[in-house]
Amino acid sequence: MVDISSENTTENENVAWRLMEALDEHRRYPRVRLDIPVAIRNGSGQHCAATLLNIAPDGIQIRCNVAIAQMLHPGGGKICQNNAPIVQTAIAIPLASGTRTLSVCSRLTYLTAVAEEPRCVIGLQFLDPRPTAQRIIDQFFEEAFNEYFASEDHTAVSATA
């Protein structure tokens, strides 16, 4: 088993680096594809749902319709540090031991329109996950890494619910 605890940082970085090289990614962290619902609450207390596209140790990418995107970023326009909305996200993360709810505050980092419905892709960065949330994230990625390195096909990392 790969230990994703802070005491084993060098080994964790090596595992993450090997995974990134294998995926030929040019990102800070590898992404794991997930096609599951995510519940979101904006700063005004409004609730909505979107589809999780992928998750990384530091955030998620979601897909939603224009109305939900407007609810999450009511000011519209370019998202920058001083206007990036903060939202609460809740995701039922599939783990070997069962599903765990990952609840974490997140900051919108980008919003992109695409041609097909649902029209919006949004990036959300986790903001200081609590210890319980961080353990869920760490366990999910430990299991994803183990599954990836145990498989014959190293072309993608994905998990399904």
CA 54, CA 91: separation in Å to the nearest integer? 12
In three-state form (DSSP H/G/I as H, E/B as E, the rest C), the secondary structure along 75-134 is CCCCCCCCCCCEEEEEEEEEECCEEEEEEEEEEEEEEEECCCCCCEEEEEEECCCCHHHH
Name the pTM for this structure. Answer: 0.76
Q: Quote helix, strand, coil % in the chain, to nearest 5.
A: 30, 35, 35
pLDDT above 60 (res 9): no
pLDDT digits (tens, 9 = 90+) for 68-111: 999 999 988 889 888 899 999 999 999 999 999 999 999 999 99
Q: Which tokens hold the place of 24?
A: 């030929």
pLDDT at position 75, please?
83
| All domains of the chain in start order, with CATH | 31-148 (2.40.10.220)
Type of residue at 148 = Y
The answer to whether 95 touches 136, Cβ cutoff 8 Å, is yes
